[in-house]
Chains A and B, each alone.
Chain A
């Protein structure tokens, strides 16, 4: 399988501060990574699609200036929650698409362990 590592696994911060979450593909290159948010007992909500070397695509209703995404290399994408507020408290999960040997995506998504953010 493919391994995606996410860090930190949990973070507590004060309201108004910014928090950065890292997502790394450890044993494969990922030109595309995804960031999700999941509130308790709810399904995954796609926040944005992160493409290496280009701007991220944020989903409707997700503020791009509040949720900054940087995908500077083929193995690392970061999500920065700027000026975090209590309503941003959630479980943030990244995933990466594994590219097959043909260079095409197999469509399989591999998920990081998730980062639980609590904003006080």
Chain B
């Protein structure tokens, strides 16, 4: 059973601090990794995707991928209350199936 694991949270972070969200996956052959943000009652929206080991930065967001350790993380710098949401990690596995994590609820406290 291929799995994508996330801590369900909630993860509480003070406004202005760095929020760090982690995701581990079981299929070593996975190639593509995605972070989605989902506000309550809304559909997920893509934040970032990453294919290669290392860091990928986009504004306040940085995705980090370590294939050897089978984890992918999302860092949010200068956290804002509007960043409060559930963050979903999705992994495209070796069969090109998209496997979803259960999501981490992030709360940014003013």
* B44 close to A (CB within 8 Å): yes
Q: A43: which B residues are within 8 A, CB to CB?
A: 88, 100-103
Partner-contacting stretch, out of A11-19, A69-77, A106-114: A106-114
Check A108–B88 contact: CB distance below 8 A: no
Tell me the total A-B contact number using a CB cutoff of 8 A: 37
**Given the interface contacts A43-B88, A44-B88, does A111 sit within 8 Å of B43 by beta carbon?**
yes
- Chain A min CB distance to B26 (Å): 16
Max chain B C-beta neighbours (<10 A), residue from A46, A107, A110, A113: A107
**Given the interface contacts A43-B101, A43-B102, A44-B88, does A107 sit within 8 Å of B43 by beta carbon?**
no
Q: How far is the CA of A70 from the CA of B46 in the complex (A)?
A: 26
Q: How far is the CA of A42 from the CA of B60 in the complex (A)?
A: 27
Q: How far is the CA of A55 from the CA of B102 in the complex (A)?
A: 28
Q: How far is the CA of A112 from the CA of B103 in the complex (A)?
A: 19
What 8 pairs between A and B have smallest CB-CB spacing? A111-B43, A43-B102, A114-B43, A107-B32, A93-B43, A44-B100, A43-B103, A111-B44
